[in-house]
Amino acid sequence: MSSQTLALCIPAYNAAALLPRLLDSARKQTCAFDEILVYDDCSTDDTAVVASQFDVRLVRGDINRGCAFGRNVLAEKTSCEWVHFHDADDALYPNFVEQARNWMEDESTDVVLFGFDWIDDLTGKKLDTRHYDHEALTDDPIAFTLAEQIQSICGIYRRDRFLQAGGYDVDPEVLYNEDVAMHCQLARFGLRFAADPAVTVINYRRANSMSATNQVKCARAHYQVLRKSGAQLDAKYADVLAEQLWRAAGVSATYLDWATADMAAELAMSLKGRVPARADFLFKALCFIEPHLALRAREYLIRLAKPRYRKGVPQYSEA
């Protein structure tokens, strides 16, 4: 049994209907959490009342500041050596804490990422199972965190190192991509990562989730994370940065957010003219001539030839 302690930290806003499932899954752990904290971010529903019905430490915010701020507050409030952040609309398998304790005595590791199941919240159908690549993650955490959309619900974090690295970035520009921003920041600060293939977390797909209903904002935030990361990294990471910038540009173009698409493409090209590695020859050539035109031409052709790929997104308009 590990002598290190582990806190479950839950930021919650208007989560009264969802909290019981998560807190019940926390209560059913084969090994108990040492502390469970809920940050009520000025909810207008009964979030605080529901939380108080469980054995948790309730922390109330005075102004609604978002989940990134709430997670930082909870990390500062707990005295546990390790923290795990979990969104109110997801859940844990009973083995989470037991599996986490296998790592918590390891002095060579600061962050551990576990596997998770992606499950449809409405039907209960398992859509996918995700594992993080331990070898790639430990080989170069900076490159890995730039390239992968890591979710904090899958991780445990050595509290003192997390706080020393600055915790979550509360910059509003990275809202909707704050998990990626946080992991990139931890990697740049030198925290030591590991991945465990054990599946310990349930990530529910919900049609009305914050990310599902804000795809444009997610793409904008992803661009900002990459921009901020690039400003602090050397040329070693130009390739992975450029590839992710082109990805952000493509998603933004899908939603006709040309301002973000153009900024992402321009930044990618500024990295010694790096064009998307997986694009066809014509698109690459056009990027060298005029990246803005390349993005618009590709989007127009997709909408013309394969309109099914753009079902449910804005119709084409002038840039």
CB atoms within 10 A of CB 93: 20
Same domain, 31 and 157: yes
Q: Is 319 exposed, middle or buried (0-12, 13-18, 19+ CB in 10 A)?
A: middle
* The pLDDT value given to residue 318: 47
CA dihedral 44, 48, 49, 52 (to 10 degrees): 180
Closest listed residue to residue 65, CA positions, set 213, 159, 178, 148? 178
CA distance linking residue 283 with residue 301, whole number of Å = 12
Q: Determine what percent of the chain is predicted with pLDDT higher than 90.
A: 86
> Would you say residue 317 lies in a domain?
no
pLDDT beneath 70, residues of the chain: 1-2, 315-319
> Would you say residue 1 lies in a domain?
no
Same domain, 22 and 118: yes
CA distance linking residue 224 with residue 260, whole number of Å = 9
CA distance linking residue 246 with residue 279, whole number of Å = 10
CA distance linking residue 274 with residue 304, whole number of Å = 27
> Would you say residue 201 lies in a domain?
yes
Work out how many domains the chain is built from and give that number: 2
Same domain, 152 and 41: yes
Last residue of a domain, one of 205, 227, 258: 205
CA distance linking residue 70 with residue 78, whole number of Å = 13
Name, in order, each residue with C-beta under 8 angstroms of 238's C-beta and a sequence gap of 6 or more. 271, 272, 274
- For residue 71, the one-letter residue type is R
Same domain, 257 and 173: no
The domain containing residue 225 runs over which residues? 215-310
Same domain, 197 and 247: no
Q: Give the predicted TM-score (pTM) of the model.
A: 0.94
21 to each of 38, 67, 172, how far by Cα in Å? Answer: 14, 19, 29
Q: How many whole angstroms from its chain centre is CA 161?
A: 19
Same domain, 140 and 89: yes
Closest listed residue to residue 68, CA positions, set 221, 257, 227, 289? 221
Q: Write the CATH number for 174.
A: 3.90.550.10
CA distance linking residue 201 with residue 87, whole number of Å = 11
Same domain, 175 and 224: no
Number of H-type helices and E-type strands within the chain: 13, 9
* The pLDDT value given to residue 1: 55
Same domain, 265 and 171: no
Same domain, 178 and 236: no
Q: Is-contact 29 36, C-beta < 8 A?
A: no
CB atoms within 10 A of CB 18: 20
Q: Would you state the structure tokens that stand for residue 305, as one six-digit string?
A: 């030839």
